Amino acid sequence: MTTFILIHGAWHGSWAWDRLAPFLRAAGSRVIAPDLTSPDDRGLHDDVQTVVSALDAVTDDDRVILVGHSYAGLVVRQAADLRPDAVDHIVLVDGWAGGDGQSMLSLAPGSFAAAVRAAAETLGDGRFIPAPPPELFGVGADDAAWLAVRLLPQPLRTFTDATRLSGAVDKIPGTAIHCRPETYPFDRFGREVGYRTIPLDGPHDVMLSHPERLAEVLLHVAAPEEERPAL
């Protein structure tokens, strides 16, 4: 059986995958979507351990596709580095990715990093990054209203902690799905870590706006090469 482990991005919760998961299950796949929203003072390495625990709970017979959206690109790559034998394929969905020692803020443009630190200092007690306006995730008015009551402050340490990679993750095949129009160079991040890149028309929160289409791409990636359905 194919098991998709879906890891949500910053400010979101496991609910971010609620529209996508039924399409994967309808295709016969199992879906696991851990929540990264506790404890409140967590850092990136705490999130990594949550994903490692999810990987440890999967049976050896499963084909595991580890999916990380946005910030969680860093999380899934470090978790896979710790459990390389448990992951068959890594998928980034508009995901941040880099090498050992890099963090979300070291990869981001300086203006983004400065804005995040300022918001945390002035509005988040120096420890939390307030959720941005939901419209910034590129969704329409209805989805923005739906997001507005769900987005949560993000611990600053998740953005400042440096990743720890041994190199084991580089032996796992990967795919970087990058949304268009582009917000940040997610296609370049994917290429630089050696992943195949696939463009997908839709906003950054494409799992909300186009869940069926994203599911099609994920199922394409998960299938053995000789059995892959056309995109």
- List, run by run, the mean pLDDT of 10-residue segments along the chain (231 residues): 97 98 97 91 96 93 95 98 97 98 97 96 94 94 96 97 98 98 96 98 97 97 77 74
Domain ranges of the chain: 2-101+163-227
pLDDT computed for residue 40 by the predictor: 78
pLDDT computed for residue 226 by the predictor: 65
Instruction: Indicate the CATH number of 2-101+163-227 among 3.40.50.1820, 3.20.20.70, 3.90.1300.10, 1.10.10.10.
Output: 3.40.50.1820
pLDDT computed for residue 228 by the predictor: 72
* Alpha-carbon distances, residue 46 vs 9, 36, 43, 113, 115 (angstroms): 14, 9, 5, 21, 24
- Asked if residue 63 lies in contact with residue 3, where contact means CB atoms within 8 angstroms, the answer is yes
